[in-house]
Amino acid sequence: MVICLTRSGRLAEITRRLGSPPSVQQQLDNLTVGPTRAEQDNGLGTALAGLTLRAHRAASSTEVTVDFTEADESNARSDEVLAYGQIVCTLTARADVDSVVFTRDNQRLEVPRADGTLSRGPLRAGDYASLIGPG
């Protein structure tokens, strides 16, 4: 399974070996747990601290909707682009996911892409490609 963590203000794609392919929600849960101790020792981190994420997908769709809440929604995040990039790059690394949209309370969110523009989605890995560094 590929997950996208952070290193030095960039996105870092890493591969974790699992016994069987994870569901979309399992992959998202693995991502939100953050880096393992060994990954932390290798300089990897996460911009997803404090987030609760739920993935939804229609049966035959390649688009995933991610619904989330933050512990304190009134605080602006300086790492917001990295957080969205981590999610999009992780989920679109799957063969069965092409794009991701974000919602809160069933309302589609306008989120930043790597170039600073805002989008209501659908978002793809290419929207964050300029932030991807070595794994």
Residue 45 has pLDDT above 80, yes or no: yes
* pTM flag (> 0.75): yes
> What pLDDT does residue 41 have?
96
Helix (H, G, I), strand (E, B) or coil at 25: helix
Beta strands in the chain (DSSP E): 2-7, 10-15, 51-56, 63-70, 99-104, 107-108, 111-112, 118-119, 132-133
| Ranges 10-14, 19-23, 52-56, 73-77: which has the least confidence | 73-77
Residue 70 has pLDDT above 90, yes or no: no
- When pLDDT is averaged across residues 63-89 and rounded to a whole number, the result is 77
Give the pLDDT confidence of 85-128 residue by residue, as tens digits: 999 999 999 999 999 999 998 899 999 999 999 999 899 999 99
Contact 18, 2 (CB under 8 A): no
Query: Which H or E element spans position 27?
Result: helix 24-33
What residue numbers bound the domain in which 84 lies?
2-133
Conformational region of residue 40, where left means phi above 0, alpha means psi within -120 to 50, and beta covers everything else: alpha
Please give the residue that has the higher pLDDT: either 133 or 96. 96
Residue 60 has pLDDT above 90, yes or no: no
Q: How many domains does the chain have?
A: 1
> What pLDDT does residue 117 have?
94
> What pLDDT does residue 74 have?
44
Residue 69 has pLDDT above 90, yes or no: no
- When pLDDT is averaged across residues 17-38 and rounded to a whole number, the result is 91
Q: Produce one character per residue of 72-86: b if its CB has 16 or more CB atoms within 10 Å, e if not.
A: eeeeebebebbbbbb
